[in-house]
Amino acid sequence: MTTRVLRCAAFLAAACAWATEEPVKHQLPVLLSVFPQGAEPATTLSATVLGNHLDRAGALVFEQPGISGRIVGGSHTRLDLDLAVSADAAFGPHYFRVVSPRGASNVLLFRIGDQRHLLETEPNGRLEQASRIEPPLTLNGRLDRGDDIDVFRFEASAGEGFVFDLRSGRNGSGLDPSMILLDGAGNKLRHSEDHFIWDPFFGYTADRTAAFFVVLQPTRGRARPTHGYQLDIRKAAHLDVMSPLGVKAGTEVDAVLFGTGLDLARRVSRFETCSPEVGVTMLEPGPDQARVRIAVSDGTPAGECSLVLFTEHGRSNRILFRVHDLPVHSSGESLSVPSAVSGNARFGRPERLVFEAREHETLVFDLMAHRFGSPVDMTLEVVEPGHSETGDGKRTVVVRNDDAKPPRTRYDKDPKIVHTFERAGTYELHLSNLWRVGRSGSPYHLEVRRASPRLELLLATDRPVVHPGKGGKLEVEVHRLEGHSEPATLTVLGLPDGMRADPVEVPIPVHGSETEAPAPQKVTIEFTGSALQVATFAEIEVVAGNRGPRGWRNVRIASGGGEGAAYARIDGAVLAVAEEREFELEAQLRSVNLVRGGSAAIPVSLRRAEGHDGTIQYAIENLPDGVAVETVETEDSGAVCRLTLRAASDAAEGSFSGIAIVGTDTRGRSEQAPPITLIVD
């Protein structure tokens, strides 16, 4: 969509003095969407970012190597980018932000894929208008206006199989789409809406040589300019999860890969894993399952490992499993400490493992499933047989956990227990699955071990600011995990020349009890250095000690929210020198109805910082065709300015979000009010 800026033909002075003691709030740049959402390696392209408060953005910052770019134009609500993707750019999500005199923005996601990428072209809303495509490929498109529908037509031969994977929520889009596959006569063959939370997905093998249609449409809400998507139509396999999820270093195990289109693996060229020390061999492929052999060399470090399957048609997606160095628990035996247990969860049939604990011993029970792609929601429960408070010999629940708490990633449904046992004895560990799983691919991996004290540093923001002459600060939440109780000193690395942050000592906490972890400790890092130029920025790290953990933050990519939101772990922060805001605007209406041939007024409030004066001139960005600012008036109270819009008789109809009212003072500083929605009918 082309963003159009319409300014009032004759600006009127609006000397509004919103009398209030509440200070003007600082406003960072806000990124809402990028289009296209991705590209292939070794390409250059133009991209458009939509957002708010984007004026004067000058720097484009990618969190990982492989993509570079520059800002070539824009406004308060739009930026035009030139991007260059290197030939060796890593596949998968890359995160970027912009920096302006306001500070650093939030991050957006730009995905690098291995297939040919194609941009959607309009009109393509009906079968007879369908865009002709030749899979395999990746389509970048938008369902961005009115009742927009995108239709694509392709030819397939009998026996030819494809995987259809529509990414919207996983890319940080607020679009909640449906995907329908039709035959050449318009008969429905497949339909999907919420396979990956919001995102549709299915596989299909053609039963005859014919033409087919893919139809994409929103399932709820109004279309918005930010509603982008990527549709992968590929012949390569899609992997869901591996069972078992854990493999001990120095061993070889037979495993099962679950997914879609795995029979394409009959022509396997290779597997790619996280390390040369981890090898995979195909044993028996099938459409939805494939048996493989995993060999992990002795001494391979414990941690997450990835697996990608390559065939003549390309690469699969990446899945994760766990490499560990713990003794493997054998069925029927008492659970020793430490040990690792791999199994498949069953709904309504809890598993019970017996173990011994010593007095005042702290043990960790860490179950891994959801984070590795397993479709289960597990709970852990430690039970002490025969020690109920009533003395009746019934079991007593000592501790229970469903979902682990921060500093885990949000929506990680895996449980974890860290518990100090008050007395020695025999206990039971109960593992239960809360979700009914309709297939056998429901693995989990449990590690039971003694506590290993460590720190986690969570940053309150990944984009702190320093105001010239006033400095700035960054709050850090220190989590002492598994009994950590040693002194700690936080230092900041990567500060620009002329800026300083003194080390901060973290006091030793006082435990509430032996069985409860201390509450997170909040410390503040102060930044000083007033001589730096506005828009100076640096990528900084907060670390504990010389080689301790780094501070990080789990950030939400702009999206519709809920469980369908995309999240990213950001290590460190972008610190920027930012000018202070001198005034702010706010429309008193969130949506405005405008009849074609008629007019509607929008009251706008103005708040000024202390000492700011002068007149304000107004403009509105993103008005639809046929709508213009008719008048700008100031009410007698001087607290509200009234902008009147008029729609021509042939004005564009529909709902238009992202309408931005912009005010500019006599010194050239401009501010944008929070966007509103305009409905023209």
DSSP string of 387-448, one letter each residue: --TT-SS--EEEEEESSPPTTSPTT----EEEEE-SS-EEEEEEEEE-S--SSS--EEEEEE
| Per-residue tokens: 320 | 């994760």
348 pLDDT exceeds 70?
yes
pLDDT bracket for residue 20 (50, 70, 90): very low
| pLDDT tens, residue by residue, 580-628 | 999 999 999 999 999 999 999 999 999 999 888 888 999 999 999 999 9
| pLDDT tens, residue by residue, 261-292 | 887 656 666 899 999 999 999 998 888 999 99
**Which residues, listed in sequence order, are joined to residue 49 by a DSSP beta bridge?**
34, 79
- Note the pLDDT of residue 87: 98
CATH architecture assignment, domain 117-234: Sandwich (2.60)
Strand 537-544 and strand 573-577: the pairing is antiparallel
| pLDDT tens, residue by residue, 499-535 | 999 999 998 876 544 445 678 899 999 999 767 899 9
- Among 632, 659, 657, 648, residue whose Cα is nearest residue 595: 648
pLDDT bracket for residue 450 (50, 70, 90): very high
The answer to whether the bond into 244 is cis (omega within 30° of 0) is: yes
- Note the pLDDT of residue 350: 84
Helix (H) or strand (E) holding 140: strand 137-142
Q: Which CATH superfamily is domain 30-112 in?
A: Immunoglobulins (2.60.40.10)
- Among 90, 58, 194, 150, residue whose Cα is nearest residue 533: 58
CATH topology for 5-21+581-680 is Immunoglobulin-like (2.60.40)
Cα end-to-end span (Å), the chain: 20
Vertex 198: Cα angle to 244 and 193 (nearest 5): 100
Strand 351-357 and strand 676-680: the pairing is unpaired
Question: Do the beta carbons of residue 97 and residue 25 sit within 8 Å?
Answer: no
What are the φ/ψ torsions at residue 168 (nearest 5 degrees)?
-135, -70
- Note the pLDDT of residue 532: 86
Tokens 């410390």: give the residue. 523
- Note the pLDDT of residue 267: 67
- Note the pLDDT of residue 264: 65
| Per-residue tokens: 305 | 């490992």
- Note the pLDDT of residue 19: 41
Q: Residue 203 in 3-state DSSP?
A: strand
- Note the pLDDT of residue 411: 64
- CATH for 339-450 is 2.60.120.380
- Note the pLDDT of residue 410: 62
- Note the pLDDT of residue 531: 76
**Which residues, listed in sequence order, are joined to residue 426 by a DSSP beta bridge?**
356
Mean pLDDT of the 45-67 span: 97
Question: Do the beta carbons of residue 312 and residue 267 sit within 8 Å?
Answer: yes
Mean pLDDT of the 458-482 span: 94
Q: Is 67 exposed, middle or buried (0-12, 13-18, 19+ CB in 10 A)?
A: buried
- Note the pLDDT of residue 561: 62
- Note the pLDDT of residue 406: 61
Question: Do the beta carbons of residue 170 and residue 245 sit within 8 Å?
Answer: no
- Note the pLDDT of residue 261: 86
Strand 319-324 and strand 246-248: the pairing is parallel
CA separation for the pair 130, 153 (Å, rounded): 6
DSSP 650: T
399 pLDDT exceeds 70?
yes
Looking at the chain, which residues constitute the CATH 2.60.40.10 domain(s)? 5-21+581-680, 30-112, 238-324, 454-577
| pLDDT tens, residue by residue, 141-173 | 999 887 889 999 999 999 999 999 999 999 999
Looking at the chain, which residues constitute the CATH 2.60.120.380 domain(s)? 117-234, 339-450
438 pLDDT exceeds 90?
no
**Which residues, listed in sequence order, are joined to residue 181 by a DSSP beta bridge?**
190, 214
The yes or no reply on domain 238-324 and CATH 2.60.40.1180 is no
- Note the pLDDT of residue 508: 85
Percent of the chain with pLDDT over 70: 90
- CATH for 454-577 is 2.60.40.10
